[in-house]
Structure 1
Amino acid sequence: MIKRFIYFIAIAVFFSNLSIAQTLNKKEKKAYNRIKTNAQYLSSDALEGRGTGNKGEKLSAEFVAEQFKKNKLKPKGENGDYLQKFGFVTLRIAKDSCSLSINGIVYRLFTDFYPLSYSSNSKYVNSFATFAGYGITAPELNYDDYKNKNIKGKVVMIDIGSPDSQTVHSKFANYLSLQQRVSFAESKGASGVIFINTAKAEDDPAGELSKSIKPSNIPVFFIKEGRRTGVVEGIEVPVTMNSAILNIISYGHNVVGYKDNKAKYTIVIGAHHDHLGFGEVKGSLEPGKNIIHNGADDNASGTTAIIELSKQLKKRKYKKFNYLFIAFSGEEMGLLGSKYFVENPTVDFKNVTCMINLDMVGRLKNTLIINGTGTSPFWLDAINLLKIDSTDIKKIKTSESGIGASDHTSFYLAGIPSLHFFTGQHEDYHKSSDDFDKLNIYGEVKIIGKILKLIKLVPAKTKLQFTKTKDEETKTSFKVTLGIMPDYTYDAEGVKIDGVKEGKPASKAGLQKGDILIMMGGEKITNIEKYTKMLSKFNKGDSTEVVYLRNNVNHTVKIQF
């Protein structure tokens, strides 16, 4: 019975391969085999899930660089190489030399005090400490903790509470952010800040040091409850603070290759080559299992596609453009690699006419999804022409939004018309089961064919017009949306905005990229998870107040959902 079963399986596989062979022409068969070979390697256990900064990610980058070299692309990374290295903080920890003494009393690190995320990484202060109440100046409320105080060069001690003993619905809500209080004290010349918590209406601030928040230039410490300070109103006492924080830096690797056809404009073609390692990268749907996430569809599929495109676009009929091929790293950690490249481009961005991103293109069933069609008036007409030739791919579904959870977003936010090719979510997404044997390589070959046809349609004499998009609602259980793209690399207090969707409540209220949401509806926003829970409480038509930081200054706006 078992032998008969194996026989029938073998026959089925044979005819399946035969069917594919019959529907691919000679050139496509060669592409199929190249993609298959490359995808097998990139999604193998040998690369340990390609976690950014890990050994497997570096092996992946080196493999892509080797393929770019074979396809005769010029290195466009750093120092004549294909690799563009970028650093990111993986851990901030207080050193043993981090110290505090007040009025001759030595405080023990972690037992009596600890540094906060806003603290300078390295700063020694020998001065006097003075009490500054809640560290708030609110002219419209006729309240000023700094009235008649000269704090220049001094350390200020600040209570984290509120003058009205409320945190929810406090009239001082616009001033309760610790980050704002630090920035204000620093602007007045303070050499250091020490927070205390006397009323305990607020939880003690987090002791874990944020990896992404920009530190201030002064030491910022918190003294635990019950540790006497000797600092009271009107009395100054000697203090020494030594902020000593170690940043553990890891490095990711973009891979950049260039086909220089001496053309006027350049098309960027990209895909991220990183994945989730052993599941330790945030985003795994199997956290804590310590099992390799091979990421065959996400995104060995896209990586192999750009390698194949780098080979096929060498042909004479495609020489009306230059082509910049980029395999990004750090996508799974919040688009780190594409953001870094956009901020540190290795070609002149003025000559980039568009960007094409391939992320998860290995599970084609009936429908190909193309996101970003609203980023240029050109896209829809061109894609409608692709739809006419629908013998290979039954349906093409489009969305206008230029903002999404992939690397095209970084280019869209830089004002470049951008598309994202995608074959849809599936039950293996961000799980260890996203393996090579589930890829539809035949479908990937056909998607590459569509991209080649699209590139032929792009005008070469004029640069594509860029348009902002009215971004579509992501389907969730929420009844409302604020219309922002959070910066997932920001892990300090609040939610930092990485993009604002046109026509949504945030855009209408004047919120901008870089703003940090700190309160909504009278409740403090501590992180993205808290933010999403708070959103679920609102219905369409509701209104609320949102407090946000811009350039370390609090602002309040009314939001209408």
Structure 2
Amino acid sequence: MIRWMMARGFSRCTLAAAWIALVAVPLAPVVAEDATAVEGRLSATAKYLSSDELEGRGVGTKGLDLAADYIAEQFRTLGLKTELVDGGPFQTFEMTTGSELGSPNTLTFVGPGGEDGEPRKIELALDEQFTPLAIGGSGTFDLPLVFVGYGITGKDENYDDYEGIDVKDKAVVILRHEPQQANPHSVFNGTDHSEHAPFRRKVSNAFEHGAAAVIFCNDQFEVDKQLASLRKRWQVAVDEIAEASERFKKIEKPSADEWRAYENKIAHLCEDVGKYAEQLDEARDPLLPFRGAGPSASEGRSFPVLSCQRGVLDQIVKQAMGMSLAELEVEMDKGPTPRSAPLEGWRAVGETHVERHEVGVKNVVGVWEGEGPLADETIVIGAHYDHLGYGGSGSAAPGVHEIHNGADDNGSGTTVLIEVARDIVARGKLPRRIVFIAFTGEERGLVGSARYVREPLFPIDKTVAMLNLDMVGRLTDEKLIVHGTGTATEFDALVDRFGKDYGFDITKKPGGFGPSDHSSFYSAKVPVLFFFTGSHKDYHRPSDDFDKLNIPGMRRIAEMVAEIGVTLAKADTRPAYKEVQDMGEIARSGGDRPYFGSIPDFAGDEPGYALSGVAKGGPAARGGLQGGDTIVKFGDSKIGNLEDFDSALRKYKAGDKVPVTVKRDGDEVTLEVTLDPPR
């Protein structure tokens, strides 16, 4: 019948309406449950998931495991099949949560021989003259040294510390920050730091140029700035001693209490003077601490990254280049003009040991099997259950070490997921299988959903739709946002129908990509719907608490999503997948970067930038890239991970034709991509 209607010239909208009509038969009767009972159950679950006991459900916390166990028990109690992976409901894998400095760690600079012909050796003391950094990796090295100034390649600034310099398989010495820091008219964002200043950007740039190790050194401007600040505090403390002494001298006959107060005051101020004196001594040639450039390395590269005292490197630079570091910095400020050069005859010899902390994490899966000829087709309904733990990376309250309970993000979605499962199970068997998944690692980059798509328990090509619940706990004025309405021919009318039935003011977003787990499925060409009640001032803050949830709103969303799930499960045909031009938030270039049109695969664990998909009609797609590719070279830049790709992309402009080398099915393939203007 559908083929006949299409032959007669029916529009897509008419066809979609017919599809809805075909499945809009009365659903299996379900005894209506009192709303108060449902809301009581939702409230209890959401309250537990967002309690302090669960420690913000951060990766690596006991609370995340408690949440997983709770969800698994709920799935079992509902009657879902949970004997799925090694006899249980958990799809487990490892994630890196941090780094520790291992042992041994050594660094020796070996230079040209003296009059006796013996090579000069400068052996450095760990934590006194050098420190391995957590953003680097472990390795044994014996590498030629090259000074590359600030380690910047800035196309817009017409400045490149690597121009004409071969650093392949060498250790590069890099100054912190950038030239002209005191110049308000500097091309490097005036007196504010530019995008080229961060450590990770410099490390990525070095890696792209083929360097085998990075040695950071403080720049003179930063040293002078810190010294000036500390000297000011030291002088204030000294002046306070003098003032306290003068005030006390004016007391003709001090009492015992006045003497005691004066002695305590002077002792306290002397402690301050001593403390600032120690800090001044350290600030004259400081070392970065182990985590001073970041808590851990990015995936995809593991070469050593170290911090070294300026005084040590200054000796080497003077001997090899005939100028001190301070003199070179003055010269670089002119223009600015790079002054990079090999440090002839000098090598860095040593080893670093950085131990990565890995923890086991798990997706929680429960299955409601289908019956009949369509039982091998799957609908996934999911929500991520992890959050930010005690804050840190990703928190909108930087520097605050407090439990981020994540009641809305995403205690609400997880709670609604369990209720949707309860509702669907109560209806009895359906023609298609429904898989309920509580994803882990979403806050770390959609890691859990990406892992499932790469290692599905049921074939992705037989997965006909994915419904995602993320932040559905703050319904206000009946406004519900639904993403993905353009990812299947039938979805627009489907959402219109149920939105009206349940009294929601629906805002429809056609795109299938965005910052949540549905993106992983859409990149695998699965139609998706993502339900979301909107952001708010408590997003990613400790204040995202249970008492701000709209429990009745969550109940109604659960009822509607269950109805949509059942409708999809009972449809005669699977939803017709559509590619949508709109890439959503996750794949936009942003800023002034040219547009490439790729979707990251955050579960990729091989060196390079792994793609889960490409934007329809975008530069990557036009150039022949596809989901499953891993970019290992972009232009002349070596690519180890997403950060390296981002750094390399910034070196080009719209209209540039860039050779891109990818790994595809074990082979390397080079394609040409013409970049689009920023979006």
Report what 1:105 is aligned to: 122
Letter in 1 for 2:677: I
Please name the residue that 2:423 is paired with: 312
How far apart, CA to CA, are the structure 2 residues paired with 1:412 and 1:323?
17
SS at match of 1:253: strand
1:139-538 to 2 correspondences below 5 Å: 145-146=165-166, 156-160=170-174, 178-179=203-204, 181-182=206-207, 185=210, 192-193=212-213, 195=215, 208-209=293-294, 211-214=296-299, 216=301, 219-221=304-306, 223-227=308-312, 228-229=315-316, 232=320, 236=345, 240-262=349-371, 263-278=375-390, 280-315=391-426, 319-365=430-476, 366-389=478-501, 392-458=502-568, 460-471=571-582
- 1:266-309, Cα deviation, whole Å (9 max, x unpaired): 1111111122333x243333444444333222222211111122
1:236-284 Cα shifts (integer Å, max 9, x gaps): 4675321211112234332111122250211111111122333x24333
Contact 2:106 2:351 in 1 (8 A): yes
Shift of 1:106: 0.9
Amino acid at match of 1:81: G
Q: How big is the alpha-carbon RMSD for the aligned residues of Structure 1 and Structure 2?
A: 5.0
**3-state SS of the aligned residue for 1:270?**
strand
Q: Percent identity over the alignment?
A: 31
The secondary structure found in structure 2 opposite 1:63 is helix
Q: For the Cα contact (< 8 Å) 1:509–1:557, is it kept in 2?
A: no
Distance in 2 between residues matched to 1:112 and 1:177, nearest whole Å = 21
Q: 1:43 aligns with which of 39, 44, 50?
A: 50
Shift of 1:234: 9.1
Aligned to 1:17: none
Q: Is the 8 A contact 1:298 1:360 kept in 2?
A: yes
SS at match of 2:582: coil
The answer to whether the aligner puts 1:67 opposite 2:74 as a matched pair is: yes
Q: 2: CA distance between counterparts of 1:239 and 1:479?
A: 38
- Judged with a 3 Å threshold, the aligned counterparts in structure 2 of structure 1 residues 196 and 247 are, in CA distance, closer, same or farther, namely closer
Match of 1:537 in 2: none
Give 1 or 2: higher helix fraction.
2
One-letter amino acid matched to 1:376: A
Structure 2 SS opposite 1:376: coil
Q: 1:378 Cα deviation (Å)?
A: 1.9
Contact 1:157 1:193 (8 Å CA) reproduced: yes
- Correspondence for 1:124: 140
**CA distance in 2: counterparts of 1:438 and 1:363, whole angstroms:** 7
SS of structure 2 residue aligned to 1:373? coil
Partners in 2 of 1:202 and 1:485 — Cα distance?
38
Partner SS for 2:450: helix
SS at match of 1:307: helix
Where do 1:5-44 residues align within 5 Å? 25-26=32-33, 28-44=35-51
C-alpha separation in 1, matches of 2:346 and 2:543: 61
Taking the aligned partners of 1:512 and 1:224, their CA distance within structure 2 comes to 46
Amino acid at match of 1:102: F
**Structure 2 residue identity aligned to 1:559:** P
Aligned: 1:94 with 2:212: no
Q: For the residues of structure 1 that align with 2:41 and 2:533, how far apart are their CA atoms?
A: 20
Contact 1:517–1:546 (8 Å) recurs in 2 = no
State the shift of 1:423 in Å. 1.7
Does 1:559 pair with 2:677?
A: yes
Q: Distance in 2 between matches of 1:226 and 1:220?
A: 18
Structure 1 regions of 5+ residues with no counterpart? 1-23, 187-191, 520-525, 535-541
Alignment check: 8 A CA contact 2:430 2:566 kept = no
The amino acid that maps onto 1:158 is: V
Q: Which amino acid aligns with 1:454?
A: I
Larger Rg: 2
Segments of 5+ residues of structure 2 without an aligned counterpart are 1-30, 111-120, 154-159, 181-185, 189-195, 224-286, 321-341, 604-608, 636-641, 664-669
3-state DSSP class of the match of 1:406?
Answer: coil
Following the alignment from structure 2 to structure 1, what is the Cα–Cα distance between the partners of residues 633 and 503? 43
Comparing 199-208 with 286-295, greater Cα deviation is found at 199-208
Residue 21 of structure 1 is matched in structure 2 by: none
Give the structure 2 partner of residue 81 of structure 1: 88
- Tell me how far apart the structure 2 counterparts of residues 198 and 275 of structure 1 sit (CA, whole Å): 36
2:331 is aligned to none
Which AA in structure 1 matches 2:369?
D
Q: For residues 296-351 of structure 1, give each alpha carbon's deviation from its aligned partner in whole angstroms, at most 9, with x where no partner exists.
A: 22222211111122222224565111111111122223322222322332222222
The 3 A distance-change label for structure 1 pair 211 and 462 is farther
Once residues 143 and 406 of structure 2 are traced to their aligned partners in structure 1, the CA distance between those partners, rounded to angstroms, is 56
Q: Taking structure 1 as reference, are residues 293 and 219 closer, same or farther at Cα in structure 2, changes over 3 Å only?
A: closer
**Counterpart Cα distance in 1 of 2:403 and 2:148:** 51
Query: Aligned letter for 1:107?
Result: L
Contact in 2 for aligned 1:196/1:223 (Cα 8 Å)? yes
Answer whether contact 1:160 1:202 (CA < 8 A) is retained: no
- 1:117–1:213: 8 Å Cα contact kept in structure 2? no
SS class of match (2:508): strand
CA distance in 1, matches of 2:458, 2:495: 27
Distance 1:289 1:118 in 2: 22
The TM-score normalised by the length of structure 1 is 0.71
Q: What letter corresponds to residue 129 of structure 1 in structure 2?
A: P
Q: Could you tell me how far 1:27 is from its partner in structure 2?
A: 5.4
Contact 1:268 1:356 in 2 (8 A): yes
Whole-angstrom CA distance in 2 between matches of 1:285 and 1:237: 45
**Residues in 1 aligned to 2:366 and 2:559: alpha-carbon distance in whole angstroms:** 21
The one-letter amino acid paired with 1:246 is E
Count of paired positions: 489
Report the CA distance between 1:143 and its aligned residue. 7.2
Structure 1 residues 410, 455: CA separation in 2 closer, same or farther (over 3 Å shift)? same
SS of aligned partner of 2:577: coil
Q: How far apart are the structure 2 equivalents of 1:113 and 1:416? A: 51
1:211 Cα deviation (Å)?
A: 3.0
1-side partners of 2:549 and 2:216: how far apart? 56
Given that residues 291 and 432 in structure 1 are in contact (C-alpha distance below 8 angstroms), is that contact kept between their aligned partners in structure 2? yes
